Amino acid sequence: RIKQLKEITEEAQEKISKSTVIVIGAGGVGSSCLEYLAGNGIGHIVICDFDDVSLTNLHRQVIHSESDLINKADSAIKRLKSLNSTIKYTAYKAKLVDENIKSLLTYQPNVIIDASDNPETRFLVANLAFKYKIPHVFASGVRFSFNLSSFNVIPNQPCFHCVFSKIPPIQLRQTALSDGVMGPAIGMAGCAAALEAIKILIFPDQLEQKCLCGKLLWYNGLEWDQRIMKIAKKTNCVC
């Protein structure tokens, strides 16, 4: 049914089918994100996750199942192949650290989606994407809310570090473990991240109008409240 969308031309669909998207994390945000990327025919999806599936996380990590308590990247690919077997999948199962983060460049990604759940990984991904000018979609959530933005899409726009200047101390972090998480709200974050990535790929001449570059979307599912805030460039920032 995507052909009925007048915005999705044959050229746009071809661009989607020839694109490589790296998704960092196959957890709550990554689950729905991956399914919609695969469903819409992204040519090559690289899934980065070193962790294993846990029963206690299945309420939000719906790409996995009770029968697949294995590595999340492997489990996700098993599900995605049943959804779309015509595209390429790669499992990257090493934990991302300073020493190996550059290895992601070998996949020549058109977009990197950060669906990870810890600040250390987020900063590693953001630094890599910024340095090599790779479009970077950031999505994170906790409780009933999520944030979404995209960076390195248009020159001279605010960067990830304009929003998040440093890694927060552990005692100040909100996490699924400490604060809880509502599965459907986090699933919405993944859907939004997939949509943002696809728009970056197919609307190269309309990025400022159609994408969240220079803006941060905050969504509160508990009260159906949504805000889009303009990001200001930070003085003396790396960008």
Domain ranges of the chain: 2-230
- Quote the Cα angle for 179-67-115, to 5°: 40
Handedness of CA 208, 226, 120, 30 (dihedral sign): negative
Bridge partners of residue 45, in order along the sequence: 21, 89
pLDDT band at residue 176 under the 50/70/90 scheme: low
169 pLDDT band, cuts 50/70/90, is low
pLDDT (tens digit, 9 = 90+) per residue, 3-50?
788 888 888 999 999 999 999 999 999 999 999 999 999 999 999 999
The 10s digit of each residue's pLDDT in 95-152 is 999 999 999 999 999 999 999 988 999 999 999 999 999 999 999 988 999 999 999 9
Reported as a pLDDT band with limits 50, 70 and 90, residue 64 is: very high
Query: Could you tell me the fold of the domain covering 2-230?
Result: Rossmann fold (3.40.50)
Cross-strand pairs, 225: 220
> Is residue 59's pLDDT more than 60?
yes
